[in-house]
Amino acid sequence: SDYKDEDWTLGQAGIREKSRIKQTCSSFFGFLFGVTLTLLYGYIVLYWKNYDISFCVVSSVLIGFFLCIGMAFSRRIRITVFLMIPHMFSGCARITLVAIIFAMAMQGPGYNIVTNIEIGAEHVSCGIETALKQTEKIYKKLEDTQKRKSLNHFWTFISSIGDICNEELLNPHRKCLKVFQESKNDCLRKGFDALCNIIDGLNWLCELGKTIAALMKDVKEQFDYNIVENSDFGINVNSSKSIFTIVRDILKKLNEDLDPYREALHIFSYSVFLISVVTYLQALSYLRNYTTDNNFDNIYITRQFVNLDVMRAKQGKSTLLPLMPRESYKMVRPMAFKLTRRERKGYSFQIFKIFGSLLLVSLIIISDYFVFWTLESISSIRKEDIILNLLEYTPETFLRNFPGGEFVIDLLHNLGDTLDVLGEKSFTNNVSPILHRQCIPKTSEPDYFEYLTIGVLYIVTFFAAFFGVYIHRIKRFICASYYPHTEQERICFLYNKLLTKRMNLEDTLKEYIRKNAENQGHSNILMILAAHSDRHCMACARICTSDISQDFKSCITNGCSGFYCQQCLGILHNVCVICMGPLAYDTDLEEEL
C-alpha cells in the first residue's frame, strides 16, 4: 500500500506539473495574441481611419493593457476575446459590418461630397466676383478710350483750324503782305518816299496768326499733361447689399446647413472603437448565458450525445436516435450543412437587407465621383479656349450680323469703335490669369483605396451572411473546450429534455388512438359512404399513398384494425395500442419460425 500511495502522489505531482506548464504556455501565447490585436487596432485607427493622434494613443494604451494582461492571466477574458472572432460573422456581426461600411462611406465619400459642394459654391462666387471685376475694367477702358478719342478729335480740329482758315480765306498771310506792299508802291508813286517806309513797320501785323498758332500749340501741350477730367460712368444697382455681401451670406448659410452633417460624420469617426466594445459585450453575454442557462444555444447533436445514446442502448433503455422529423427541424449536428428552423429564420431577409445597404452605399460613392467628375471637367477647360470663345464675338462680327437700317448701323459702328479694347491682346492677357488662378475649382479627389476597402468589406459581409450561421456554431465549440463539465451537463439536459417530450408524446398518442378506436364503432351510414378509401395512421393521421406504402405497418393480430407509420411505430415501441400485440416480429424470431 505504501508503494501505491507513493505512485499516486507522484502521479498527482506530474499532473500538477503538466497543468502548470500548460497554464504558462497559455499565458504566454495569450499575451502575444493580445499584443497582436493591439497592434492591429492601432494600425486601423491611425493609418486607415486617420483618427486623432491623441485618441489613438489613449485608446490603444487602454485596449493594449486590457488585452495583454487579460489574455495572459484571465481565462474568462481569453475565452471572451476568442468568442469575438466567430461573433464577427454572426447575425449581429452582419449588422456591425454594415455599420462599419456605412461609417466609412459617410466619413470618406460622404465627407468628400460635402467638401466638393463647398468648392463648387466658392467657384460660383468667384465667377460672380470675377465677372463684376471684368465688367468694371471694361467700363473703365471704355471710359478711357472715349476720353482719348474725344480729346483727339478736339485737338485735331484745333490743329487744322489754320488750314481751314487758309482754305476759306485764300492764304490771309500773303494777302496781308500784298496789301501792305501795294500801299507802299502807291505811296512811292505819289512821291512820299519818307512816309512810305512807315508802312514796312506794320508788316508784323501779318505775323500775328503764326504767333497765335504757336500760342495755341503751347496751350495744347498744357492740356495734354495737366487737364484732369472727372466723369461718372457706371451702373447704379438698386440694392441694399453689395453682390459680395450676398455671396458671403450664401456661403455662410450653406455652411450652416452642412454643419449637422459634419457632426454626424464626426460621430461615425469613432466607429471602430465603439463596435469593438459592443462586440466584446455581446461575446461576454454569450459566455454568461452558456454557463448559466442550459437551454441557451443547446441544439447540437454532438459526439458525446451519440455516445450517451449508444450507452443507453447497451443498457436496454429507450434511445432517441434516429431523431423524429419534428425533432430534426430543431436539432442539428455541428458539422452538418443542414440548417435548423431557427437558423433559417430571417436568413434570406438578412441577405436582402445587405443588398439594400449596398445600394445606398453605392449611391453615395457614385454621387461622390459624379460631383468630383463635374468639377474636374470644369477645371480642365483650358483658359485659351475661354478667351478664344470670347474673341469670336468681336464688335465687327456683332455689327456685321446685326439687323437694322443704315442709321442704326452707323450709330453702332461709332459705338463699336470704342469697344475695340475687347480685341486687344493686353486685355485678354489680363483676363486669362484671373480665370485660371482664381475661378478654376481645385477639386478634392476621391480616395480610391477606400472604395476598394468598402468593396472588400462587402465581400466579407456577404460571406458572413451566407456562411455566418455555420461559423456561429464555433462559439459553442470554444466554450465547450474551456468548460467541458458544463458541456457534459448541457448534453445530459438536452437528452433528458428530448426523452421527456417523447415519453409525453407516447402517452398522448396512446390516448388519441384509444379514443379513435372507440369512435370508429359509432359511425353512421353517411360517414361510411363519404369516407375515403385511403388508409391513414391511427396515431398521426398520415395518409398512406402508393409511393410511401412501405413506411406503414398493420397489426398482425387477426381482427385488429391497427395501422401505423414507421415514426409512430418507434414511439409506441412496436406495440399496438388497440390489442396490445406486436405490430411486427423481430428478425431473429422470423428466421426461427
Q: Is pLDDT of 143 > 60?
A: yes
CA distance 478 to 84: 11
Helix (H, G, I), strand (E, B) or coil at 300: strand
Q: Output 549 or 28, whichever has higher pLDDT.
A: 28
pLDDT range class, residue 263, cuts 50, 70, 90: low
Tell me the mean pLDDT in the region 543-556. Answer: 78
Angle at 497 between CA 491 and CA 498, to 5 degrees: 95
Of 97, 85, 99, 103, nearest to 462 by C-alpha is: 97
Last residue of some domain: 23, 55, 73? 73
Q: Is pLDDT of 7 > 70?
A: no
Tell me the mean pLDDT in the region 490-496. Answer: 88
Last residue of some domain: 226, 247, 268? 226
Phi, psi of 538 (to 5 degrees): -75, -15
- 1 domain-assigned: no
Select the highest-mean-pLDDT range: 168-177, 198-207, 291-300. Answer: 291-300
Tell me the mean pLDDT in the region 250-274. Answer: 65
Q: What is the pLDDT of residue 150?
A: 72
Q: What is the pLDDT of residue 331?
A: 85
Do 130 and 199 belong to one domain? yes
- 61 domain-assigned: yes
Do 221 and 137 belong to one domain? yes
Do 64 and 117 belong to one domain? no
Tell me the mean pLDDT in the region 199-211. Answer: 63
- 155 domain-assigned: yes
How many CB atoms within 10 Å of residue 312?
16
Tell me the mean pLDDT in the region 198-218. Answer: 64
Q: Alpha helix (H) ranges present in 293-346?
A: 303-314, 325-328, 341-344
Do 68 and 118 belong to one domain? no
pLDDT range class, residue 531, cuts 50, 70, 90: very low
Q: Output 311 or 203, whichever has higher pLDDT.
A: 311
Long-range contacts of 549-556 (CB under 8 A, 24+ apart): 553/583, 553/584, 554/583, 555/579, 555/581, 555/583, 556/581, 556/582, 556/583, 556/584, 556/585
pLDDT range class, residue 423, cuts 50, 70, 90: very low
DSSP secondary structure string, 133-157?
HHHHHHHHHHHHHHHHHHHHHHHHH
Select the highest-mean-pLDDT range: 8-17, 124-133, 298-307, 400-409. Answer: 298-307
**C-alpha dist (Å) from residue 352 to 90, 347, 348, 465:** 16, 9, 6, 10
Tell me the mean pLDDT in the region 355-370. Answer: 89
Q: What is the pLDDT of residue 52?
A: 72
Select the highest-mean-pLDDT range: 213-217, 219-223, 377-381, 434-438. Answer: 377-381
Q: Is pLDDT of 316 > 70?
A: yes
- Beta carbons within 8 Å of 300's beta carbon, 6+ residues apart: 331, 332, 333, 334, 473, 476
Of 67, 10, 13, nearest to 38 by C-alpha is: 67
Helix (H, G, I), strand (E, B) or coil at 582: strand
> Are the C-beta atoms of residues 283 and 478 closer than 8 Å to each other?
no
Q: What is the pLDDT of residue 167?
A: 60
Which of 45-54, 406-415, 478-487, 504-513 shows the lowest per-residue confidence on average (mean pLDDT)?
Answer: 406-415
- 186 domain-assigned: yes
Domain limits for position 551: 535-593
Q: Is pLDDT of 16 > 50?
A: yes
Do 124 and 222 belong to one domain? yes
- 400 domain-assigned: no
Q: At what angle do helices 474-482 and 271-292 cross, to 10 degrees?
A: 60
- Beta carbons within 8 Å of 348's beta carbon, 6+ residues apart: none
> Are the C-beta atoms of residues 581 and 557 closer than 8 Å to each other?
yes
Span between the terminal Cα atoms of the chain, in Å: 58
Select the highest-mean-pLDDT range: 9-13, 210-214, 324-328, 479-483. Answer: 479-483
The count of structural domains within the chain is 3
CA distance 37 to 79: 15
CA distance 37 to 63: 9
Q: Is pLDDT of 12 > 70?
A: no
Tell me the mean pLDDT in the region 410-418. Answer: 47
Peptide bond into 403 cis (omega under 30): no
The DSSP letter of residue 575 is B
Do 119 and 220 belong to one domain? yes
DSSP secondary structure string, 431-472?
HHHHHHHTSS-------HHHHHHHHHHHHHHHHHHHHHHHHH
The DSSP letter of residue 500 is H
Do 117 and 42 belong to one domain? no
Do 56 and 123 belong to one domain? no
- 81 domain-assigned: no
How many CB atoms within 10 Å of residue 262?
11
Q: What is the pLDDT of residue 588?
A: 40
Last residue of some domain: 175, 203, 226? 226
Q: What is the pLDDT of residue 219?
A: 59
- 516 domain-assigned: no
Q: Is pLDDT of 63 > 80?
A: yes
Q: What is the pLDDT of residue 548?
A: 76
Q: What is the pLDDT of residue 445?
A: 83
pLDDT range class, residue 8, cuts 50, 70, 90: very low
Which of 89-93, 393-397, 454-458 shows the lowest per-residue confidence on average (mean pLDDT)?
Answer: 393-397
Q: Is pLDDT of 243 > 70?
A: no
Of 592, 590, 560, 552, nearest to 576 by C-alpha is: 560
- 354 domain-assigned: no
Do 49 and 126 belong to one domain? no
CA distance 146 to 72: 91
Phi, psi of 327 (to 5 degrees): -75, -35
Tell me the mean pLDDT in the region 74-101. Answer: 80
Question: What would the pLDDT profile of 558-567 be if each residue is shown by its tens digit?
Answer: 777 777 787 7
Do 119 and 208 belong to one domain? yes
Q: Look over the chain and give the mean of its residue pLDDT values, rounded to a whole number.
A: 70
Q: What is the pLDDT of residue 393?
A: 45
Tell me the mean pLDDT in the region 559-586. Answer: 72
Q: What is the pLDDT of residue 335?
A: 85
Of 158, 159, 206, 152, nearest to 179 by C-alpha is: 206
> Are the C-beta atoms of residues 520 and 586 closer than 8 Å to each other?
no
Q: What is the pLDDT of residue 231?
A: 45
Do 220 and 120 belong to one domain? yes
Reported residue count of the chain is: 593
Do 144 and 200 belong to one domain? yes
Q: Is pLDDT of 183 > 80?
A: no
Which of 255-259, 312-316, 317-321, 374-378 shows the lowest per-residue confidence on average (mean pLDDT)?
Answer: 255-259
Select the highest-mean-pLDDT range: 9-23, 196-210, 307-321. Answer: 307-321
